Structure 1
Amino acid sequence: MQTQRLQKLSDNVYVVPGRTNAGVLVIDNNECVIVDTGIDEDSGRRILNAIKPLNLRVRAIINTHHHADHIGGNALIVKRSGAAVYATPEDKPFIERPVLEPLYLFGSFPPKLLRTKLLEAEGVPVRDLDDIRREVGFEAIPLPGHTMGMAGISYGNVLFTADAFFPLDVIRKYGAPYHLNAGLALESLKKLSECVSRYGYVVPAHGDILKPQDAINVINENINAINRLRELVLNSINDSVALEDLIVKIFSLLGISIDSPHNYLLNRSALLSYVAWLTDDGLLTIDTVGNKLIVSRSRK
């Protein structure tokens, strides 16, 4: 991870490195647009402090998607700068009402133990990303999969890829990282692998800033991880198995140690994406037997 508080990539693009990298797009001599704001008020404060030497007014915030570690600094930056927040129509409701994130993971209105900054930020009003795109002139690249409306941001020779792919250490630790729709995530990765060579820098939300060929290598590892996990899920079902038993079995096979309810729900959600994908492809069926949800191999 880069340690500089502010890293210059071009005359009009900077990055504030951190656990979630934040982008700074300079749109004229005295204004900027921030891409993602980190997990909490401290993250937002760190971004504002980092850009102080640039003497720029924050005109807008772009959220590449709605997860808490990308929107947690929104409220503080909005309060201090008056900036408007922009996102895709698919992710807009979750940024305005962040309780929706723990709600869909839990499957009902979430208990207080899940309503922390790890899953639920402070909500802010959100405008359509396309409005600021036309005004500023960046390109918004649809990258659905991690969320349904995630977008990459291209500005000059820099491409911000949000959570479309993850560093190799994350892949090695978790087998495959979180995606809400793994099939769509795979298609987004394939699209990225074909276009990143056009850029001078590729900035993932997590991990180091990459040159195009290095980014392609990491993208390919993410593609391989998704394909491996799909096969693992399918091959873990000999005939039929209760859904929750399947989840525990896959955790064990991946060597995942669940240390909190929110980690359980995130990993469970990720694995359910593969079950849904395989079901839609006709390889699995889902039914109820003995008051349990049962996943079975399809009989052709």
Structure 2
Amino acid sequence: MSLINIRGNTYYIKGGTNSGLYLFTDNTAIIIDPGLPGLRPRKIIKELKENNIEISYIINTHEHDDHYGACKEYKLENKNIKILSSKYAKLYIENPELFSKYIIGGKSNKFLDEFFKRSNQSSLYIDEELTLGNVIINKEVFKIIEFKGHTPGSIGVMTKDKVLFVGDLLVSEDMLNKYDFLFVFDIKDYIESLNKLKTINFEYMVLGHGKNIINKDDSYKLIEKHENAINNYINQIKEDLKEPMGIEALLKNIIVRNDLHCNYKEFYFYKSSLVSIISYLCDLDEVSYTIQGGELLYYIQKNQIMIK
């Protein structure tokens, strides 16, 4: 659970969800994405105490509980910690049941809820909403960057050491090779965020999920792989929609064709990403719909070309 120095005062802690840490000169610190509740945050808190480091702020890059879930444990340890997020992420963090409702498309049920242990988040509140651009925290400047797409409230955080924490905008190459049907809320926003990332002047990048720190040069290759993954599934869907097809049939094709691991939760994650791609194609006027025999069917409009 040791702190790993990246550069200057910027560190990270490896885990299922990587956590960032910026150490101030007064030996207080910011945690970026504390991860899930449980044993890991307790070990981190113990190690920080042993090194006389006091957490004063927590920044959450987005509204998924594998990133913010441990906030309450830090807050219980020190009630003066300020928890920060974007305005949109705040809505979901303070009302975690909304995520299940959004995923399932209505009231959630026990089959989905059993994947999300919500008790630790029942009284979690965001103390301050982060604005975009340069933000001063404890006399230090941090750059807050909008990275919408994976979720509507996703942000990146860059320290003065030019280390950029991107949350789940990107995943590691190893993970992408296994799980290339990315969980994306808005395809257009996601593509724009990938393009924005190419223009940012950072030197090292920390992924929410991945074993290695990414330097600027290597980031271009990883971004391209994410773009290819998105375009691959867009093209699969466009090929299937040469004939009218419903969402369930499309989803079955995607899962079977790509041999995707699937449990109840993952089924709805895949369905959410599929609907996002359909909505993207609808907004581009590439896809239309018909209702036949009470079934909603989508189809690709004529004269549409495949993405290369």
| Structure 1 residue aligned with 2:198 | 193
Identity of aligned residues (%): 25
Distance 1:72 1:199 in 2: 27
| Structure 1 residue aligned with 2:146 | 142
Distance 1:175 1:58 in 2: 35
- The partner residue of 1:261 within 261, 264, 267 is 264
| Structure 2 residue aligned with 1:238 | 242
1:75 is displaced (CA, Å) by 0.9
CA offsets 1:149-185 (integer angstroms, 9 cap, x no match): 1000000221111111111222222333211112211
Which SS does the other structure have where 1:230 is aligned? Answer: helix
Code of the aligned partner of 1:184: D
Distance 2:115 2:2 in 1: 23
Distance 2:62 2:171 in 1: 15
| Structure 1 residue aligned with 2:306 | none
1:102 is displaced (CA, Å) by 0.8
Give the alignment of 1:68-87 within 5 angstroms: 68-82=65-79, 83-87=81-85
1:61 is displaced (CA, Å) by 0.8
Which deviates more from structure 2 when the two are superposed, residues 146-155 or residues 182-191?
182-191
1:209 is displaced (CA, Å) by 1.2
Which SS does the other structure have where 1:138 is aligned? Answer: strand
Distance 1:214 1:50 in 2: 32
Distance 2:125 2:135 in 1: 17
Which SS does the other structure have where 1:252 is aligned? Answer: helix
Gaps of 5+ in 2: 304-308
Q: Is the 8 A contact 1:279 1:286 kept in 2?
A: no
| Structure 1 residue aligned with 2:99 | 101
| Structure 2 residue aligned with 1:252 | 256
Distance 2:115 2:41 in 1: 13
1:9 aligns with 2:6: yes
1:62 aligns with 2:63: no
Q: Is the 8 A contact 1:16 1:50 kept in 2?
A: no
Distance 1:118 1:112 in 2: 10
Distance 2:221 2:302 in 1: 38
Give the alignment of 1:250-289 within 5 angstroms: 250-258=254-262, 260-289=263-292
Which SS does the other structure have where 2:21 is aligned? Answer: strand
- The partner residue of 1:173 within 178, 181, 204 is 178
| Structure 2 residue aligned with 1:115 | 113
Decide whether aligned partners of structure 1 residues 90 and 211 sit closer, same or farther in structure 2, where only a CA change above 3 A counts: same
Distance 1:57 1:220 in 2: 39
Which deviates more from structure 2 when the two are superposed, residues 290-299 or residues 17-26?
290-299
| Structure 2 residue aligned with 1:90 | 88
Decide whether aligned partners of structure 1 residues 53 and 30 sit closer, same or farther in structure 2, where only a CA change above 3 A counts: same
Code of the aligned partner of 2:90: K
CA offsets 1:94-129 (integer angstroms, 9 cap, x no match): 000111111110112211332246475614111202
| Structure 1 residue aligned with 2:222 | 218
Which SS does the other structure have where 1:130 is aligned? Answer: coil
Decide whether aligned partners of structure 1 residues 119 and 219 sit closer, same or farther in structure 2, where only a CA change above 3 A counts: farther
| Structure 2 residue aligned with 1:128 | 129
Decide whether aligned partners of structure 1 residues 37 and 16 sit closer, same or farther in structure 2, where only a CA change above 3 A counts: same
Decide whether aligned partners of structure 1 residues 51 and 210 sit closer, same or farther in structure 2, where only a CA change above 3 A counts: farther
Which SS does the other structure have where 2:166 is aligned? Answer: strand
Distance 2:23 2:114 in 1: 33
Distance 2:82 2:115 in 1: 21
Distance 1:117 1:246 in 2: 25
Distance 1:46 1:141 in 2: 30
Which deviates more from structure 2 when the two are superposed, residues 261-270 or residues 230-239?
230-239
Code of the aligned partner of 1:76: E
Q: Is the 8 A contact 1:44 1:77 kept in 2?
A: yes
Gaps of 5+ in 1: none
Q: Is the 8 A contact 2:205 2:215 kept in 1?
A: yes
